[in-house]
Structure 1
């Protein structure tokens, strides 16, 4: 990852961590809600692995060892799970959804520098609360704090 992207990521993560566990939601529209929100552009691989494209996502969180990054795009409710370091480990998102389905874990098998696009398909009135984790096989190595509730619409 080049230094400019890493610096922007660091700034976005700093802003995200400053949010704590506050609930982020849109009063009038998703566009107004996202104006000024911490965001980054990631390289996302489709669920089928057929293609990779640039995607914008918001409220990024990074594991303490910097190996995993997770962020969210409320347009279509996409959760991006990114391998942030060439460390031989893989990223995962641990998350709660507004449908009260309990803690979910989604592992991603992507190359370093790429993200997996996990479509949550939650109602626009819903929310997601997630964390970024770095794993070695089934062993959790490092996890960020949770993002706080992020609105899907």
Structure 2
């Protein structure tokens, strides 16, 4: 009987993971040093979608199909959500914050190669943990692993 219950639990976990469901808050490793942190320069559109500026962001994660890139700028707490491939799909950031508000989801409709600047307000002692996903309308196509807890300081 115990073996059947254990097998059912393992099967349920596998099904939840394969459908993209979140079973637990992702990676708990905290990354607080910017020394030698991986970074990328991205093209960010202003809030009205008019002017583009270059911005450096850190700890980039890319969806497995290469269509979405998400990275973080700790100074000012900016999460950049970028369309990394002109494939007709759109990028999405799924993230957790240190305020325990649950998983948040932010879609970007800016076309490749532009990035949405999602301006967050995270305390200096806080963190963010995010992943990059590529969507076709409301259908999830692929998601990266989580970044690990990135310090907001």
| Pairwise CA RMSD | 1.1
Aligned-residue offset at 1:70: 0.1
Unaligned runs of 5+ in 2: 1-26
Aligned-residue offset at 1:49: 1.3
Q: Kindly report which structure 2 residues correspond to 1:26-45, keeping only aligned pairs within 5 A, or say none.
A: 33-45=33-45
Q: Secondary structure at the match of 1:34?
A: coil
Q: Secondary structure at the match of 1:65?
A: coil
Aligned-residue offset at 1:36: 0.7
Cα deviation, 1:18-70, whole Å, max 9, x if unaligned, reads xx752101xxxxxxx21210001000112221321000000000000000000
TM-score normalised by length of structure 2:
0.80
Aligned-residue offset at 1:134: 0.3
Alignment correspondent of 1:23 = 30
Q: Kindly report which structure 2 residues correspond to 1:68-79, keeping only aligned pairs within 5 A, or say none.
A: 68-79=68-79
Q: Secondary structure at the match of 2:100?
A: coil
Unaligned runs of 5+ in 1: 1-19, 26-32
Alignment correspondent of 2:108 = 108
Cα deviation, 1:89-109, whole Å, max 9, x if unaligned, reads 000000000000000000001
TM-score normalised by length of structure 1:
0.80
Alignment correspondent of 1:90 = 90
Aligned-residue offset at 1:111: 1.2
Runs of at least 4 residues of structure 1 off by over 3 A? Answer: none
